[in-house]
């Protein structure tokens, strides 16, 4: 599959392919938009089945970062990187340093952060060879761990969706099915438990599931059953592409609100959700707390400013829900339109400055 023929190519401004024979590094960096500022997005290391699968992922994720930064009103564009390989077997310091040099070739147009397959221990290694990096704990800078901010944003957005769809100000007594118990999923679970929600959980990590069962009184279901579990709210917080032709007709939830990226396989799956009366909180809106935290480290915002912006995710979602209802559109279509309007204003502003 060629780049321009990919169904996920969306007028990306730059896509760079890297093959470092000395270290075995194979990576792709995609910049979707620079309209609002430098492209920011994490680096994902994953054992993709093919280079086409890696290209599809990086194109989708980088586009999502453009929209995520725009809808969060951040001075950042959207980019993403993928490294092809098993992070448990194939990751080496030499490969990470080689990757840092790849980032440098883009001259600051792309700033990398952490994503699936990368750990806080990896980031200082990459930082040895590039200054275009953020989103981890750095000496002299505010904390870069984006997990807590993302979890707070997802919880806030989930409550906004519950308010809009179910007319409730609390999740107390509701059953919430949580797919994925990493930093974000478990953080959301803790907040829901504190408010009195009933939890149904699943994760391939059995220790995380046991912790949720023991600490939060959660009920366990298998990873294959969680998406269609009996619940009021489904909160996907693992990998994406879970809302599709097969799963949507079987959903029992009335609200879908979680931190996973790219939950819809295709945009048209938002139509299927709408037809079933299921309210979908667009993923890149509700999970924007992470990029807000990363932006804060780059721009030196206070913790209070970060919290203010993360809590504003709920009101942004309410605007999306109301506008989708009034215009008879899907929530994901309205979110896209609002993000595109902000990016267009950024491009127009850039042209105006260039003309001065």
Distance CA 184, CA 148 (A): 7
CB 259 within 8 A of CB 286: yes
Query: 159 an active-site residue?
Result: no
Going from the C-alpha of 225 to that of each of 56, 141, 270, the distances in angstroms are 26, 42, 21
Q: Token pair of 64, please? A: 């999502």
Under DSSP, is residue 264 helix (H, G, I), strand (E, B) or coil?
A: strand
Two tokens, residue 332: 């994901």
Residue of 80, 95, 163, 198 marked catalytic = 80
Nearest to 282 by CA among 344, 339, 326, 201: 339
H or E segment to which residue 99 belongs: helix 93-104
| Catalytic residue annotation | 80
């Amino acid at each position: 599959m060629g780049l321009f023929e990919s169904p996920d190519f969306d007028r990306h401004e730059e896509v760079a392919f890297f093959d470092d024979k000395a270290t075995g590094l194979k990576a792709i960096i995609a910049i979707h938009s620079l309209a609002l500022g430098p492209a920011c997005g994490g680096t994902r290391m994953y054992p993709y089945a093919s280079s086409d699968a890696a290209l599809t992922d990086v194109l989708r994720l980088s586009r999502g970062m453009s929209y995520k930064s725009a809808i969060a009103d951040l001075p950042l564009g959207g980019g993403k990187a993928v490294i092809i390989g098993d992070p448990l077997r194939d990751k080496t310091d030499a490969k990470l340093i080689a990757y840092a040099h790849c980032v440098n070739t883009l001259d600051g147009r792309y700033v990398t952060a952490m994503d699936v397959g990368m750990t806080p221990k990896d980031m200082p290694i990459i930082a040895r060879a590039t200054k275009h990096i953020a989103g981890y704990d750095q000496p002299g800078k505010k904390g870069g761990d984006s997990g807590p901010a993302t979890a707070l944003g997802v919880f806030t957005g989930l409550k906004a969706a519950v308010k809009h769809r179910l007319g409730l100000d609390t999740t107390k007594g509701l059953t919430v099915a949580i797919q994925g118990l990493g930093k974000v999923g478990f953080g959301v679970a803790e907040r829901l438990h504190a408010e009195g929600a009933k939890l149904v959980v699943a994760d391939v990590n059995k220790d995380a599931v046991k912790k949720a069962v023991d600490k939060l009184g959660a009920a366990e279901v298998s990873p294959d059953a969680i998406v269609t579990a009996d619940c009021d709210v489904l909160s996907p917080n693992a990998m994406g592409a879970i809302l599709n032709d097969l799963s949507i007709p079987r959903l029992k939830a009335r609200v879908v609100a979680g931190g996973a990226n790219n939950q819809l396989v295709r945009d048209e799956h938002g139509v299927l959700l709408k037809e079933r009366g299921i309210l979908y909180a667009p993923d890149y809106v509700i999970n924007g707390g992470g990029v807000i935290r990363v932006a804060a480290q780059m721009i030196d915002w206070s913790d209070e400013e970060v919290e203010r912006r993360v809590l504003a995710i709920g009101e942004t979602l309410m605007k999306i829900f109301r506008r989708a209802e009034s215009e008879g559109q899907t929530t994901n279509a309205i979110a896209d339109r609002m993000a595109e309007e902000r990016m267009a204003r950024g491009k127009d502003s850039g042209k105006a400055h260039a003309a001065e």
